[in-house]
Each structure stands twice: as structure tokens, then as C-alpha cells.
Homo-oligomer: A and B are copies of this chain.
Amino acid sequence: MRAAVIGLGAMGMGAALNLLKAPGIEVAGCDPRNAACDEFAAAGGSAVTRAADLPAGTEAALILVVNAKQVEAAVFGPDGCAAKLAPGAVLIVSATMAPEEVRALAAEAEARGLHYLDAPVSGGAAGSRAGALTVMASGSATAFEKAQPVLDVTAKKVWNLGAEPGLGMTMKVVHQLLAGVHIAAAAEAMALGIKAGVDARTLYDIVTTAAGNSWMFENRMPHVLDHDETPRSAVDIFVKDLSLVGDLARSVAFPAQLATQAHQLFIAARAMGHGGVDDAFVIRAYQALSGITLPGEE
């Protein structure tokens, strides 16, 4: 099978390297950045900077770029790969976007005789390197079938949300609602505890063994305790993802009250200049509003 990975960032590179090692799959990479192409070449792969230069007859393209606009350009734009795809090829699109953008792209693919798998992922760069992504997918049975060899190598779990492109992305956006609200709630609880005189580390130890725990509380609050702002995922990511939550909610007429409130807090942290640091530092918004001193800043 001839496959391509478009977008060799933290997620795409991991997937591309795993496909490179997989028997029976011939993979080409694509990224506008020469450095990314060089990195893939150093591992024994070959990559191009323009999707239009991918090998003719590509049967499956895994697309791990940033948004719908980049997907549109990489496939259907003047520098896109559409002409190089085999008839009936499948696009496996893992860029995060609004479900309505998914439906527009899927319709465009269908009009050209291509199959479209709506396939947002979670699992981060580490999951991608390990070939252990979680994929929240939707699309036709044929799209799933054609994508299978690529998914077998890159994912540990593929969820089937239904036949309609957009349902996978809807699930991903709902998931990001929980992720974003839980990070903001973790920050709110930690900040209130500090303000009210509870030892922050004891608070962490208690919550993580009790019913108030969340995956995000447990994973992110050590960054605050250790005063480590290194962005595993940045405040700006949730400014964007909670925008998608708001867009989805509005498009189906749903009042997403907690997500809206959490979004405002991430926007505030960004406004304060913390958009690029770890998302746990949404706690800076609470700090500004309550005057607390964070661990490591005494």
C-alpha cells in the first residue's frame, strides 16, 4: 500500500516513523518545513515540502495538520495532492476543526471520488510515537476499510462514531469541553485552597485519592506545584479548542455554560501573556483575581 503522512509535526512525525517500519506499507512524508523533511529522511524516509509532489497513486493520506484551512490547501489547493491520489483513495483527516468544516471537506472529497475518514485523535505526541493514538472516527464502511492498514500501525484504539463525517469531530470537541473545564476547575480549586490556607501539596494528595479527582487535575496540577511552565499543551490550545466547543454548541443550539466560563478564564490567561505556557497556568487568571502566591513564587 502506498501511503502518505501530511504534516510532520509532533503528531505526524510519530505516525510517519511507525508507518516507515511497517511491512507492506510504502510511506512518503510531506511538510513545508525543510527541517521536518530532513528529520524524516535521516530516519530512512522520504519527504516533500509540497503535497503536490507526493508519489502518484497514493492510496491513503493521513493528514495531521493544524486546521481545516491547511487540510483544504494540502489536498485541494494548487499545491495540494489531489491529482496524485489513486482513484478511490482515502483521506484520514486528524486535524482538529469544527464538525461543519469536516462535512464540507468530506463533501469535496466525495465529489472527486475520494473516501473521507473523519479521524481526530487524542494521545499526544507520546501516543503518536508509540503507535498508540486513540482515534474518534466516523465515515463510510469503505473509508474505514481503506484506512485500516494505516490505523493498525498508528492507533491502539479506533472508535466508530457512525457513518457520517463530522461525528468523530463532534466527539472530539465534546471531549475537549471536559478537558478544558477540568483544567480550569483544577486551577479554581487549587487557587481557592491556597487562598484559604490549605497546603497545596496536601490538597493535591487528597484530591487525587478522592472522588473529586479528574485525569486533568492529577496530570496538570504537578506543573503548578513544581512551578514548571513548560508547555506540554499550552493555554492557547484551549483558547482554540473551547472556541470550537462554543461554535459546536451554538450550531446545535446548546447553552454550554461551564465551557463558556472556562473559555473566558483561558482567554484571560492569554491576555495576561501566558498563552504559550502550560495550560495548567490558567491558574494565573485566578491569581490575578485573588492575589494568591503560587508555589515556588514565595
Q: Report copies per complex.
A: 2
Given contacts A198-B161, A212-B215, A290-B253, contact A192 B177 (CB under 8 A): yes
A residues bordering B, Cβ < 8 Å? 99, 122, 134, 136, 157, 159, 161-162, 164, 167, 170-171, 174-179, 181-182, 184-186, 188-189, 191-193, 195-199, 202-203, 205-207, 209-217, 219, 245, 248-249, 252-259, 261-262, 264-265, 286, 289-290
Task: Beyond the given A178-B189, A192-B245, please list 18 additional residue pairs across the A-B interface where CB-CB is below 8 A.
Answer: A159-B202, A159-B206, A161-B198, A167-B197, A170-B193, A171-B202, A174-B196, A175-B210, A175-B212, A177-B212, A178-B186, A178-B217, A181-B181, A188-B256, A195-B254, A214-B215, A253-B290, A254-B289
Q: Mind listing 12 A-B residue pairs with CB under 8 Å?
A: A161-B198, A171-B202, A174-B196, A174-B203, A175-B189, A177-B185, A179-B212, A185-B185, A195-B253, A254-B290, A257-B261, A261-B261
Of listed A134, A195, A214, A261, residue having the most chain B CB within 10 A = A214
Enumerate the 10 nearest inter-chain pairs by beta-carbon distance, A residue then B residue, closest first.
A178-B212, A214-B214, A181-B185, A175-B212, A174-B193, A213-B215, A195-B254, A179-B212, A170-B196, A254-B290
Shortest A286–chain B CB gap in Å is: 8
Residues of B within 8 A of A178 (CB): 185-186, 189, 207, 212-214, 217
Contact A171 B206 (CB under 8 A): yes
Contact A161 B199 (CB under 8 A): yes
Shortest A165–chain B CB gap in Å is: 12
Residues of B within 8 A of A255 (CB): 286, 289-290
